[in-house]
């Protein structure tokens, strides 16, 4: 696990597996505020048990208070493990994600269990997603004396949100614009929805200095815009040429070719 401070109020924790990014954000505190430490939310989650166990100590070392809330960019299992680190802390997500979790109870737990069995990983307790709070998206979420901006994202999955941290000029994307993964159409023929999300993200990138993808290295807005162009090109070719679509040059690993094959199947 790697932890990097992007701003006095923002820490990014990257899991050793899948390069999943977890973002710890502290609400900006006004001068003379009673709670000088600010309010903290944890967005998404690392994957391994020891990484999750280390999060409370990391917050303490950074002089951040314990989180009052968890946020998930979308409902994929590798982004909703925060309750394993902070039991009893409510998990906030887009209304679309809350509906997904409600309509497919136990899905995240089953996929986590399958992942753990494959890699022989043991966890001290099962994942519980009981305290889920649905957030209106697009919308805003108060944190301390500041607000997070919530923007809808779908295409990769039918649910989700990107989270802008305006005072830190940081944008948390969920599973979009990854430097290590091509677009994945996990819910069938969702190219149009994916295009729409990319276009919603484009103006947000103009106001961000630091962009945090769901998987892969943090980048500046220029690099993120390059990936956006590559993803638009790939998805356009996927729709027109199917299996013959060219993958982005930097994302042509065996795993990415497998994702491409699954995308082609989703369009069939």
Q: Tens of pLDDT along the chain (268 residues)? A: 999 999 999 999 999 999 999 999 999 765 544 445 689 999 999 999 999 999 999 999 999 999 999 999 999 999 999 999 999 999 999 999 999 999 999 999 999 999 999 999 999 999 999 889 999 999 999 999 899 999 999 999 999 999 999 999 999 999 999 999 999 998 777 899 999 999 999 999 999 999 999 999 999 999 999 999 999 999 999 999 999 999 999 999 999 999 999 999 999 8
CATH number at residue 42: 3.60.15.10
Q: Which residue has the tokens 């951040």?
A: 64
pTM, two decimals, is 0.94
Centre a 10 Å sphere on the Cβ of residue 267 and count the other Cβ atoms it contains. Answer: 14
Q: Which domain holds residue 149?
A: 2-267
SS in 3 state form for 40-101?
A: EEEECCCCCHHHHHHHHHHHHHCCCCCCCEEECCCCCHHHCCHHHHCCCCCEEEEHHHHHHH
Q: Are 91 and 130 in contact (CB under 8 A)?
A: no
Q: Give the CA distances from residue 34 to residues 38, 63, 128, 210, 244, in Å, rounded to whole numbers and listed in that order.
A: 9, 16, 33, 30, 60
CA 188-193-194 angle, to 5 degrees, is 85
Counting the structural domains of the chain, the total is 1
């Amino acid at each position: 696990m790697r932890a990097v401070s992007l701003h006095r109020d923002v820490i990014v924790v990257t899991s050793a597996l899948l390069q999943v990014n977890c973002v710890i954000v502290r609400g900006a505190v006004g001068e003379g505020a009673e709670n000088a430490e600010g309010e903290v939310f944890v967005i998404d989650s690392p994957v391994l048990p020891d990484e999750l166990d280390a999060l409370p100590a990391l917050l303490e070392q950074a002089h951040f208070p314990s989180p009052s809330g968890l946020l998930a960019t979308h409902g994929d299992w590798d982004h909703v493990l925060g309750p394993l680190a902070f039991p009893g802390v409510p998990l906030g997500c887009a209304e679309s994600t809350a509906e997904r979790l409600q309509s497919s109870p136990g899905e995240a737990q089953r996929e986590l269990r399958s992942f753990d069995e494959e890699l022989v990983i043991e966890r001290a307790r099962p994942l519980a997603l009981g305290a889920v709070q649905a957030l209106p998206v697009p919308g805003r979420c108060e944190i301390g004396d500041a607000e997070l901006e919530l923007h809808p994202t779908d295409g990769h999955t039918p649910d989700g949100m990107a989270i802008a941290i305006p005072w830190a000029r940081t944008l948390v994307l969920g599973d979009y614009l990854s430097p290590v993964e091509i677009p994945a159409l996990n819910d069938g023929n969702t190219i149009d929805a994916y295009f729409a999300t990319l276009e919603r993200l484009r103006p947000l990138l103009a106001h961000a200095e630091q962009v945090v993808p769901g998987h892969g290295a943090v980048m500046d807005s220029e690099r993120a815009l390059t990936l956006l162009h590559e993803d638009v090109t790939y998805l356009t070719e996927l729709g027109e040429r199917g299996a013959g679509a060219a993958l982005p040059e930097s994302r042509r690993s065996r795993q990415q070719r497998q994702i491409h094959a699954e995308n082609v199947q989703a369009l069939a």
